[in-house]
Every structure is written in structure tokens, then in C-alpha cells.
A = this chain, B = another copy of it.
């Protein structure tokens, strides 16, 4: 019941997405530009025109540790809301690292190992991606070196401990072991770090060492494609087709993983669900960002990607959904959003935690702060159905558990959690730093 192929939506799109550009030449980048960072098979997948890419047996053998993941009807939640809507959730928290991230960490580690790479570097914010890659590297005998955003490193010591249990080495970022980290530290010795800075460090470390490559946990086409196992499984598991599909978006991979297979059927005219991305009000790249070429990191080491961005200098307020605190967005999803293939809304932090607590008390599972955004929107949709009497089928992506986020829940329960308003001037200022 685990799918045997990943689904690549790119060839099915009515218009191809704009290519990434070399920052100096402004020309589309080629495989050679990416070779210092990624193994050839992943570069090939990044630009592939194959609709279905077979999942290697070695990857399936690891997926089997937790896949297929459960698709559940949230009957208790429905009852507590008194809604005629039928709510289904696809739960990725049963994976070793507790989220959807191992779905791509495992193939990334596998292809690197197969091409003779010995060590992978990466960055991590909340820690989900770092622990996923650490797990995947342990499976294929690779070393793993991780730069973890300093604020998370200090607030969530158990996340780095989990990475170490899996055998990885972990630095707080900014660190003194890279030039880009040292530069930040020289100017801001107490810097709390950011995903953009941590990406710069991990990219620099990979590019400057032998047999070492870099791995990214979201944003890129091949990452989104690996996540389509979520949606393919859901398609096979569902007894009725959804009218509404809801997922949260940070870099976009969990959302894409659930919705791409449904979009295939929608593009073919077989179904017509409303598809909705939910982003935090504090980091609203789809809804308030600009669709423009920008860097994926802070130091400007990555190619330029056309995406919805708040500017690579943008530092989001410290909401607890660390996985959604990213200035940019998947270029592929950004392109599809421009094509009108799905809609996007925002939710504030406290209404998300309220949804998380309600979900825990009814369905048992404690959700990570990221998918509480999808849950808050799902609950709002279900309440609209209560109002209208519509028996809609709602499918939502519950992409991870919140076992490492209980300090945030405690804060919410004690009434100390704050919502942030994001003045337009802050966005305008960050966007003014976009590359010319």
C-alpha cells in the first residue's frame, strides 16, 4: 500500500515554472552549478519531466518502518464542533522523527550514499528536518553535520539530543566553524540566528569539503516530489473524495505532498476540490509577499529563485511554529499559486494553539504548532458548514506531533502567548533588499 512512484506535477502544469537563475549572470543555472551541492540523481529529479519517478527498493525498505501512515476520520472533533462536515486527517507524526520530513530525508541520503558521498550537511530550525536527516544518514551509513538556529538550539535541547542519538553532530548557528557564521557573530555576537543564516553555513560547509554534499528539507522540486507519498496514500485510503483540502505552508513541502496527487485529478477534470494553503499571520509569504526572484538564504549563496518572498533579510517574529518561519516559499508552489491553482489564508498564533488543544482533547494526538495552522482553518471551515448545513468532506494534513513543543503549549495554557501584528512597513523594508 506504500506507493511505488513519486508524482512529479511539473509536466502536468499548463505553463512551466520559471527557472532558477545564477546570481551573477542572471542566466538559468545548469546541472554543473548544482553539482557541488547535490548528487546527480537529485539534480536530475529537480528538472525532471517524467510524471512518475520510481521509488528505489532501498528507500521503500526504510519507508516501511512507518509507512503507510494513518488516514483517520476525526469523529470526536466533528462531534465536539457539532458540524455536519466530515473531517479526515493524514497523520505523518508516526515517522521516526515525528513529521513528514523523513519522506525526503531518506531518498536524499540514499542517492548521496549511492553516489559515494560520505557526509551530508544541513540546517534546521525547529529541529524536525535535522532529526529526520540524522535518522536517514544513520540508515545509509553517512555522517551528518547540522547547523541548528541558535534560538531553537537553546529552547529545544531535546531536539538536538535526538539528532545526536541518531549519530549526527550539531552546531548552534551562527557558529564560528564557517566564514558566513563567523561574519554574523562578529557583527552580532548574541545573534539568535535564522534559517537563512543556517542555510548559508551548511551550504558553505558542503561546498568547501570533499565527499560532502548539502541537503535541503523543503522548497525544492525534488523535495516536494518525494513528499507526494502522502497524497498518493491518502488517495488510496479515502472512501470519499474531499471537497476541501487544507495544509500549512512554510517552505511548502508538506502541503505539496498532500495536494499534488489530488491536483493531478483536478487538472484531469476528475475532481474539483477547493485547495487552501494556511500560513502564519507573522510570516505571510503567499498573502503579503512579492512574487520575485530572491535568494533562499541570508548570505546570498543560493541561486536566485522566483518565489513569493518577504525578502531574504526578513526576520519573522518569534512564533512557535519554527517550521513556518521562512522568508520565501517553494518556487513551484509560488508558480502554481500565480496560476490560480489553490488559495491561501493566514491564521494567528493563539487561534492555532486553541485548535491544537481542542484536537488533543478530542482526537488524542498533540499536534505540532505548524499543522495547528491547518487545523485552525479546518475547524473554521467545519463551523462554516455548521452554519450552512453543508456536509462537506474536509481533508487536512497533520504533518507532525508536538512532543517537543510542550513549552509553547504551556505558554498558551497559562495565557502568556502573544499574537504579532506585522506592519506593512516591515515587509516593505525587507522587500527593498531584493536583488536588482
The chain A residues found within 8 Å of chain B, CB to CB, are 61-62, 65-66, 72, 75-76, 94-96, 98, 102, 135, 138-139, 157-158, 161-162, 164-167, 357, 360-366, 403-404, 406-407, 409-410, 413
Contacts and interface: CB of A to CB of B under 8 A. Distances in A.
Given A403-B404, A406-B158, A360 B413 contact: no
Contacts of A167: 361
A180 B56 CA distance: 61
Contacts of A165: 357, 360-361, 366, 406, 409, 413
Contact of A410 (B75, B161, B407): B161
Contact of A406 (B161, B361, B365): B161
Contacts of A65: 72, 76, 363-365
A403 B66 contact: no
Contacts of A409: 161-162, 164-165
A364 B64 CA distance: 11
A406 B76 contact: no
Nearest to A65: B364
Contacts of A157: 406-407, 410
A-B pairs, top 3 by smallest CB distance, nearest first, are A96-B364, A158-B406, A161-B406
Nearest to A363: B65
Given A158-B407, A403-B98, A407-B158, A360 B164 contact: no
A166 B360 contact: yes
19 contacts: A61-B75, A65-B72, A65-B364, A76-B139, A94-B94, A98-B403, A135-B360, A135-B364, A138-B361, A138-B362, A158-B406, A158-B407, A158-B410, A161-B406, A161-B410, A161-B413, A165-B366, A165-B413, A403-B403
Contact of A66 (B138, B364, B406, B407): B364
A135 B362 CA distance: 9
A412 to B, nearest CB: 9
Nearest to A414: B164
B164 A365 contact: no
Contacts of A361: 138, 165-167
A338 B102 CA distance: 47
Contacts of A403: 98, 158, 403-404
A167 B361 CA distance: 8
Nearest to A164: B413
Contacts of A102: 364
Contacts of A406: 157-158, 161-162, 165
A82 to B, nearest CB: 15
Contacts of A94: 94
Contact of A161 (B76, B164, B407): B407
A409 B72 CA distance: 32
A237 to B, nearest CB: 15
Contacts of A161: 406-407, 409-410, 413
Contacts of A410: 157-158, 161, 164
Contacts of A162: 366, 406, 409
Nearest to A364: B96
A360 to B, nearest CB: 5
Nearest to A361: B138
A366 to B, nearest CB: 6
A332 B157 CA distance: 41
Nearest to A136: B364
A365 B75 CA distance: 28
Contacts of A95: 364
Contacts of A357: 165
A365 B158 CA distance: 15
